[in-house]
Structure 1
Amino acid sequence: MLLTLFPFLRWFPLTRETLRADLAAGVTVALVLVPQSMAYAQLAGLPVIYGLYASFVPVVMASLWGSSNQLHTGPTAMLSLMSAAALIPLASPGSPTFIELSILLALMVGVLRVALGLARLGVLVNLVSSPVLVGFTNAAALIIGLSQLNKLIGVPFPRSDSYLSDLWAVVMQLPQTHLPTLLFALGAFVLIRGLERLVPRLPAVLLAVVACTAVSAATDYEQRLEVPLEAVADPEAARRIKTYLETTAELESLAAAVARKGAELRALQAQQESAEREARIALLSGEIEALRAQAEYLKQRNNRHQVQLYAMVMNRSQDTGGAALFYREGHLPPGVVSDGRRWRFSGTKEGRIVFSAGGTVVGRVPSGLPAFQMPEIHWDALLTLVPAAFVMALIGFMEATSISKAIAARTGQRVDVNQELIGQGLANIVGSFFSAYTVSGSFSRSALAARAGARSGLFAIISALAVVAVLLWLTPFVYHLPEAVLAVIVMLAVFGLIRVKPLVHAWRVERGDAVIGLVTFAATLAMAPAIANGILVGIVLTVLAYLVKIMKPRAEILGRRPDGVLAGIEAHGLKPVSECVVPIRFDGSLVFASVAYFEDIVLEARARFPKAHTILIIGSGINRIDASGEEKIRELAQSLRQGGVSLAFSSLKKQVREVFEIGGLIALLGKENIFDTKEQAMQTLLARAGGG
């Protein structure tokens, strides 16, 4: 009972050797966790500090209440992308509302996981077949990796309901590539890959982050200015930027209006039913939908404006006693001298225009630990987020259990999937009270912990304490870290998840499963950024394929091969055993879903062999029979008997024979028509038919 309530008690007693191994593994994992968590936070549309928040309390909770000693929980690429995809239709990435929704989503995912764990429903992971998971993972890895392309070349990434069109918009901006940004990305890639190959013991990712941050600070890579709109002296540029500012303000106003009307709608729904209340609810619901549609239209327009503004190169006049002014390149007034740098529109901040002549860096990261606070509940978004929360709970749990089982195969530790659900759920629930977004088990960090010799979950707590040290004392040093470097870290992590061989193997073994995996891959790409819908398509197709197999199991009329073995007459081109005795093999459960097909195969045999006296069902493949199956056998036996044909069974399993006895089928069919083996049945029935 104590181990059930407090699973971490299994770590004790801790030996000096265990402590030494966990300390080394914890420090090793922390060197990867810190840069990874910041990169994944940006992937989730959040400031990098929230990646560090998600690497503290959730890591500790999952370690204490999980079941695997080597599983490391925290931000992951998959759930970061899924979190962003679920929330982008509801709020702008990085905005206060977006951050609140990210934390709320973590709470929802946590509650769902704990509920599934307490209900012992860890078996739900079996709904996702291996080809479906591989197809989804491959597509998600491509989506995640390519979503970082804009950060490698330093251009905007418009966010809409179509990921492929957004990606194409980035590709069309290749001529505007910011060369220093691309050089930082290439440098980080070469440094990480080179160190991993030449000196694998060193923390390549962390060293690349430190080196690139130092170079960025030394070269003034950012070159950023915040100016009022009045500083844009070029009339055309000022007009375009003003339009962007006005649309942004209108979007904020629409978001506030939706929030107000949502609160009014919830208040109405809590009132007693009346005709007036129902009419008002219908009216408010329509108004909210109209406001959201208008906001979506404005967001798309602002996305286009942002891309157009970035493509517009600006020159800044040198300060000569007066204020610096910005003009479009090639439109400087006579006598006005440029400062020699090419400035581009980078966004807005508190009503001011942000221009950049360099690249994008992480910027100021607040120091200190996250405060305990109740997650903000956005009731109007709650129902909208339930499907995404369920899929994220399922996918994240599959990530955690798959790596746990892979490690357990080497260590011999038993993994309790339901306990792992509870641990992962508590990590998200408690983490949401400390500003953490959705977390799950990490493939890369867990594998690293296992290689580093982690003995107990204490290693994860040590890695979390390292994050605490970063939050308390090291955040000022992160300011100049180029976002392009974080993008490289994400791409290197996710492209390693792409696997083609499992789908090729599935194609050889069972083409139907492979086709479902490929459809899942295509659907995930097509439906991005809502990639959760892609795996739902795969799950639905898997269930349908399973139902089809249940409804139409393998069933065939048998003949005898030259070696005397019974085999399908169609599959092996055999002659019938007899015109009087027709053996049929039925390899499936006789349940409501398959009784119609069972009837069809029996009637087909009756039609093909009009002289038949007996139809023998070889039932070694029948594992189960329900009330529908029992009733169908009764109907068929009575119908065939009227035509002078007996229905016989052989090789029935114990549980099926018991149903025959309880339901009175043996008495109906006659004990002389129930046989222990197929050979006994064939010999007796052929002899009874006079050799047939």
Structure 2
Amino acid sequence: MNTDRIYRLFPFLAWFPMSGKSVRADVMAGLSVAMILVPQGMAYATLAGLPVVYGLYASAIPAIVGSLWGSSRFLHTGPVAMLSLLSAASLAPFAVAGTEYFIQLSILLALMVGIMRLLLGVFRLGILMNFVSQPVIVGFTNAAALIIGLSLINTFFNVPKPDTGAFLTDFAGVIAQLGEAHWPTIAFGAGTLVTLIVMRRIMPRLPGVLVVVVLGTLLSALTGFENNERITHGQIQATDVRNLYQELAATRTEMGTTSEELSEANSALKEAEKAGEESPDLAVRVARLEIRESQLKRELSDLRITAHQVRLERTETADGQARFRAWHADAEGRPWRLSGFDEERIIVASGGQVVGTIPQGLPSLQLPVLDWEVIPALLPAAFVMALIGFMEATSIARALAAQRREKLNPNQELIGQGLANIVGSFFQSYSVSGSFSRSAVAARSGAQSGLFAVVSAIGVLITMLFLTPYLYHLPQAVLAAIVISAVFGLLDFRALARSWTINRADGLAGFLTFFVTLYMAPDLANGVIVGVILSSLLFLVGTVRPRSEIQGLRPDGSLAGAISNDLRPAGPHFTVLRFDASLVFMNVAHFEDAVMDAVARNPNARAVLVLGNSINRIDASGVDKVRALIGDLAAADCKLMFSGLKKPVREAMERAGLLDEIGRGNIFPNKRVALAELQQRALGTPDRVETANPALPGTRGDDNPS
């Protein structure tokens, strides 16, 4: 096995040999990243609809694998905001966020994303990203950043989020509950944002994320931010409130039962279809269960919002038993609200939401649950996530590589990211990708190799083993503020405006992607798909109808567009046509129209000169069309000529015998020679002029600014 092949299989061998200085630099960079990675991982897990511990799982093994098999020595692999939101949105139709089944599907989705990225890398299909234009990427990124940030507003206010299935409607529902907001929670969230902004400007080298986590946790613990009690229905004295809570609990139970029945009915229906059996009764049952599940989701959402609006006053009986009655104007203390359910008990709270208990210990090695009924439905989402994650990771890695004049191998990066997701899924990780913020910290901290990522992962493992109990009092609002601070830095509306200024078609694709993504959220993948389709269609339109224009003479003798610049024709007895595209099957009809239009505009023309500098290739359809035009023009006593043809085009014409049909005397090396020859022929001199007269029009070389 040769050396190159060994390095392709084990790219981390390029780290060696290491010096003591480089190892120390990597250790320090790894510790710096770890201080950001732990709180970021927990924050992004909540965005993915998962318990915070799964953010730690996604920050450990995937970071090591992505570093070992990636091509960038600065790219840090782990949980990121974009894929976290995409993961949650992709799984929302199949399970309730935070449930055991939802967690299983998140891990399964990571496995699918990993396999797709690995296959794309192995088969060197990174070129697929060429189908996504930069304005589409910018439009999607702006919309996704807004959606990520605004989707956490309910955590900022500590109010329930409606579950209508439409992001904009849910957001409006959260804003409508501002009057029910928990102001201490808002204070924690706003304080975190302000601290992060100030530290980024004044002390950019300090790990601001770690600082706000430590401060937030200490303040929460010292002030008793969380204040929960688990009570029975009998402890609620207000009958209407007790009935409301009981209805909510019953609806939650029915929702779970209906979802299970729907899953079983779907499985039975698919088994019957595979066996070739018709099951109309089963199909009707599935349809009814789907309708009922949708109804229950709406009812549950409305009941949660209504229950949250109910404020309770806590009192105690003589024997110290807690009782809760409806809040009134003279009530003392802080109001209590419904926080959740714990089996048969009700959880009420007068404080805010905290992270709570985080399981200690390392993630165990487990085979992801392969739900073959759901896998086909998740394939489109997995493919979009694979491409978006690759786009995000490679853009970061390219920027860092360019700063240090290093070469990046995108296909190797795909392999590294694919393996990170695959191996990570066996250690209970959800979908991961390259992180801009952590990669930038590594580069700024002086990382010399991917060893820094291994060190950062060890820091996470130590946290999981020993430090999770100290994170119990970390407010959820602090985690939400960390995510909002990170994603709002991705907003760049000026780039969208520039794309519109540069090219209206590109700008249209970018803005449409932005609005479609925003409108169709949480189905973010649809925004990318619409943007890719639109930009591809616009590209095809440009290919089918490329720019072509009859050329005229400027006062200085140079050529430019006759119509667009209001110029006189290049000559009374010939027409010069500029065609800015290759001659291929998609545009030969447009080429024919352009040539015939040029003839029609100058009835006295005895020749049509096509400037071939922009014709990069010609296919069989192009050859046939040129051959047909030669005959059509000959019937009108007119000749077809070319100048400045590139070698591959001339060779293709030679192989097709087209040069002889055109006439070798009608093929010119450049437009200067061609114009001189046509002028001489117009004067009645049949001999071909090989050297242009400087006094003749068009003798400024091949520059054509039009």
Query: Shared topology, TM-score over 0.5?
Result: yes
User: Equivalent of 2:45, from 41, 44, 48?
Assistant: 41
Q: CA deviation at 1:177?
A: 1.3
- Give the Cα–Cα distance (whole angstroms) in 1 for the partners of residues 448 and 222 of structure 2: 42
CA deviations on 1:637-686 (whole Å, 9 max, x unpaired) are 22222222221212111111111111121122222222222222223234
Q: CA deviation at 1:266?
A: 4.3
User: Equivalent of 1:120, from 124, 134, 144?
Assistant: 124
Q: What corresponds to 1:302 in structure 2?
A: 300
Q: What corresponds to 2:357 in structure 1?
A: 364
Q: What corresponds to 2:291 in structure 1?
A: 293
Q: State the one-letter code of the partner of 1:200.
A: P
- Give the Cα–Cα distance (whole angstroms) in 2 for the partners of residues 500 and 238 of structure 1: 49
User: Equivalent of 2:530, from 526, 537, 557?
Assistant: 537
Structure 2 unaligned runs (5+)? 686-706
User: Equivalent of 1:638, from 631, 637, 655?
Assistant: 631
Q: What corresponds to 2:87 in structure 1?
A: 83
Q: State the one-letter code of the partner of 2:307.
A: L
User: Equivalent of 1:325, from 305, 323, 326?
Assistant: 323
Q: CA deviation at 1:142?
A: 1.0
- Mapping of residues 169-318 of structure 1, within 5 Å: 169-271=173-275, 274=276, 277=277, 279-280=278-279, 284=282, 287-318=285-316
Q: Does 1:652 align with 2:645?
A: yes
CA deviations on 1:86-122 (whole Å, 9 max, x unpaired) are 1112111101111111111111110110010011011
Q: What corresponds to 1:551 in structure 2?
A: 544
Q: CA deviation at 1:413?
A: 2.1
Tell me the SS of whatever aligns to 1:572: coil
Q: CA deviation at 1:288?
A: 3.2
Q: State the one-letter code of the partner of 1:296.
A: S
Q: CA deviation at 1:319?
A: 3.1
Q: What corresponds to 2:704 in structure 1?
A: none
CA deviations on 1:620-653 (whole Å, 9 max, x unpaired) are 1001111111111122222222222221212111
Q: Does 1:600 align with 2:605?
A: no
Asked whether the 8 Å contact 1:259–1:380 carries over to 2, the reply is no
Q: State the one-letter code of the partner of 2:541.
A: V
Q: Does 1:620 align with 2:617?
A: no
User: Equivalent of 1:378, from 366, 371, 386?
Assistant: 371
Q: Does 1:157 align with 2:155?
A: no
- Mapping of residues 391-430 of structure 1, within 5 Å: 391-430=384-423
Q: CA deviation at 1:606?
A: 2.0
Q: State the one-letter code of the partner of 1:320.
A: A
Q: What corresponds to 2:113 in structure 1?
A: 109
- Give the Cα–Cα distance (whole angstroms) in 2 for the partners of residues 286 and 687 of structure 1: 84
Tell me the SS of whatever aligns to 1:342: coil
Q: Does 1:682 align with 2:675?
A: yes
- Decide which moves more: 633-642 or 16-25: 633-642
Q: CA deviation at 1:285?
A: 5.1
- Give the Cα–Cα distance (whole angstroms) in 1 for the partners of residues 643 and 56 of structure 2: 65
- Give the Cα–Cα distance (whole angstroms) in 1 for the partners of residues 590 and 509 of structure 2: 24
**Identity of aligned pairs, percent?**
48
Q: State the one-letter code of the partner of 1:564.
A: G
CA deviations on 1:325-379 (whole Å, 9 max, x unpaired) are 3322249xxxxx9773311112223243221110000011101111111111222
Q: What corresponds to 1:452 in structure 2?
A: 445
- Give the Cα–Cα distance (whole angstroms) in 2 for the partners of residues 8 and 501 of structure 1: 39
- Decide which moves more: 637-646 or 30-39: 637-646
Structure 1 unaligned runs (5+)? 332-336
Q: Does 1:63 align with 2:56?
A: no
- Mapping of residues 565-580 of structure 1, within 5 Å: 565-580=558-573
CA deviations on 1:98-149 (whole Å, 9 max, x unpaired) are 1111111111110110010011011112222222111111111111111111
- Mapping of residues 128-147 of structure 1, within 5 Å: 128-147=132-151
Does the C-alpha gap of structure 1 residues 351 and 445 become closer, same or farther in structure 2, counting only changes over 3 Å?
A: same
Q: Normalized against structure 2, the TM-score is what?
A: 0.93
Q: What corresponds to 2:665 in structure 1?
A: 672
- Give the Cα–Cα distance (whole angstroms) in 2 for the partners of residues 436 and 339 of structure 1: 46
Asked whether the 8 Å contact 2:196–2:485 carries over to 1, the reply is no
Asked whether the 8 Å contact 1:248–1:302 carries over to 2, the reply is yes
What is the count of residue pairs matched by the alignment? Answer: 681
Asked whether the 8 Å contact 2:643–2:674 carries over to 1, the reply is yes
Q: State the one-letter code of the partner of 1:490.
A: V
Does the C-alpha gap of structure 1 residues 351 and 668 become closer, same or farther in structure 2, counting only changes over 3 Å?
A: farther
Q: CA deviation at 1:561?
A: 1.1
Q: What corresponds to 2:36 in structure 1?
A: 32
Q: State the one-letter code of the partner of 1:65.
A: W
Does the C-alpha gap of structure 1 residues 691 and 379 become closer, same or farther in structure 2, counting only changes over 3 Å?
A: farther
- Give the Cα–Cα distance (whole angstroms) in 2 for the partners of residues 235 and 635 of structure 1: 90
Q: State the one-letter code of the partner of 1:418.
A: N
Aligned CA-pair RMSD = 1.8
Does the C-alpha gap of structure 1 residues 604 and 400 become closer, same or farther in structure 2, counting only changes over 3 Å?
A: same
Q: State the one-letter code of the partner of 2:381.
A: A
- Decide which moves more: 111-120 or 182-191: 182-191
Q: Does 1:54 align with 2:54?
A: no
Q: CA deviation at 1:562?
A: 1.2
Does the C-alpha gap of structure 1 residues 194 and 574 become closer, same or farther in structure 2, counting only changes over 3 Å?
A: closer
- Give the Cα–Cα distance (whole angstroms) in 1 for the partners of residues 633 and 282 of structure 2: 64
- Give the Cα–Cα distance (whole angstroms) in 1 for the partners of residues 269 and 441 of structure 2: 50
Q: Normalized against structure 1, the TM-score is what?
A: 0.95
Does the C-alpha gap of structure 1 residues 170 and 150 become closer, same or farther in structure 2, counting only changes over 3 Å?
A: same
- Give the Cα–Cα distance (whole angstroms) in 2 for the partners of residues 16 and 311 of structure 1: 61
Q: CA deviation at 1:691?
A: 6.2
